[in-house]
Amino acid sequence: MTENLSANYKKAYDNRLGFGRRPALILVDFVQAYFDRGCDLYAGVENALASALRVRNAARGAGIPVIYTNVVYHSDGADGGVFFRKAPVLKNFVLGNPMGDWPKDLQPAAGELVISKQYPSAFFGTSLASTLRVMEIDTLVITGVTTSGCIRATCVDAMSHGFIPIVVEDACGDRHEAPHNANLFDMNAKYADVVTEVEAVDYLKKYHGN
């Protein structure tokens, strides 16, 4: 096949959702494991965190909800099920392990919601969907790690629950460029709008005061 990838996909998937009226921001799993070079989960995603913090500043300025997720397991990982069995590296998120702590620049502020999860999606087995509905949120601005795992799962579930997923490409990261780019491409084609940090911040600044 000589046709390039973008041209091929545009025949079937070439639509934009656009930003909704009531957004919330989620920062998915930005925890120490991905920033500690001594940890097997180290992913070199410092730039993604820096971008997410800039988006967070804009969200706080706009007065929209800011939500964080982390991953927490009991000591034997029994609440991690097959996921914990498949990926033993998740032992870094057993309760009390410092790899599950927030990086120094990412301390949630008072009143900002933290959701602890055991599986890739921020929605699966958590109160996130109900919380967003009570807040009358229609748009979820998604940042975090990793793009091919928890970001993709959260994006697909956001769409499945009826929320507009806006994935901020600069503010998401993965341990390798190839799965990062491939999953951004696919999410943008089928499930979400993938936007730049500049686009996300501009949207949030315009939302300020509404």
Q: Which domain holds residue 87?
A: 21-205
Does any domain span residue 9? no
Amino acid at 123: F
How far lies 1's CA from each of 5, 103, 132, in Å? 10, 46, 44
H helices of the chain, where? 5-10, 46-62, 81-86, 128-134, 152-160, 177-190, 197-207
For tokens 């975090």, what's the residue? 144
pLDDT at 6: 75
CA distance 43 to 25: 22
The answer to the question of residue 1 being in a domain is no
Number of domains in the chain: 1
Q: What is the pLDDT of residues 118-133, one digit of tens each?
A: 999 999 999 999 999 9
Rounded to two decimals, the pTM is: 0.94
CATH number, residue 123? 3.40.50.850
* pLDDT on residue 153: 98
- Catalytic residue positions? 150
User: Do residues 42 and 1 lie in contact, with contact meaning Cβ atoms separated by under 8 Å?
Assistant: no
CA 157 to CA 102: how far, in whole Å?
24
15-34 pLDDT, tens digit each = 889 999 999 999 999 999 99
Q: Is residue 15 part of a domain?
A: no
**Phi-psi map region of 96: left, alpha, beta (phi>0 left; psi -120 to 50 alpha):** left
User: Cis omega (within 30 of 0) on the bond before 143?
Assistant: no
The mean pLDDT of 178-198, rounded to a whole number, is 97
The answer to whether position 188 is within a domain reads yes
| Kind plus residue range of the DSSP H or E element containing 116 | strand 113-117
CA distance 56 to 8: 35
